[in-house]
Structure 1
Amino acid sequence: MSDSGLPDGFADLDPFVADWALPTRAQRYEARLSKPYDDLVSFYDAVAPRAEEAIAYLNGLDINDLPDDAEKLLQLLYSMILVSYAVNVFKQNRIPDSGAAFFDMVAEPAV
């Protein structure tokens, strides 16, 4: 485990743990909206190239009994997915032309 609590081999992602290893979708979406767009791009550019390796690592574990370091890695992947829309599709933090509309999930995925 690295100093931030990520699994060994993922130390390069340590700088993103405090801001992006968040337990709920609502917290991840709030982070997406509250951070400068350039921070989203930096985060995405760091995590996306490591995503397949991270998924392969996580696939070797029991999803229902993840150790804390693996849980943080999974949360980084969830955040990367949420940020990917902003970076690759919208080119901004918010969904274009959505005004004040907001979708609030009432349940988290079971993991």
Structure 2
Amino acid sequence: MGKQEVNFISIPIKKPDKLSWTPALTKYITESYAEDAKKYNQDCNLLDSLRQRCLEQEQIENPLVLEDFYFNQLSFLGSKFPLDVRLINNWGLLFVH
């Protein structure tokens, strides 16, 4: 029997651009709630750092714990400052013809 050769294509993992929520969130807080957004800088910066760390998961030992922290931070800020946005998403099956 001969040895069978298998060729693989190496595709790098997609990396999103670095994004900071802090400027937009603090502006929204100031304009919509007339509050001093500086009080929430630490919370917004924590959200930014958690998002960045979630995106670098190949270096994290237990990524689900970090994603849980990120989700909780999003929920916390969302409960303090609900957005008046209604998004409609029409889900469909991907492989149906």
**Please, what TM-score do these two structures have when normalized by structure 2?**
0.33
**Please, what TM-score do these two structures have when normalized by structure 1?**
0.30
Q: Which structure carries more helix by proportion? A: 1
Instruction: State the structure with more CA Rg.
Output: 2
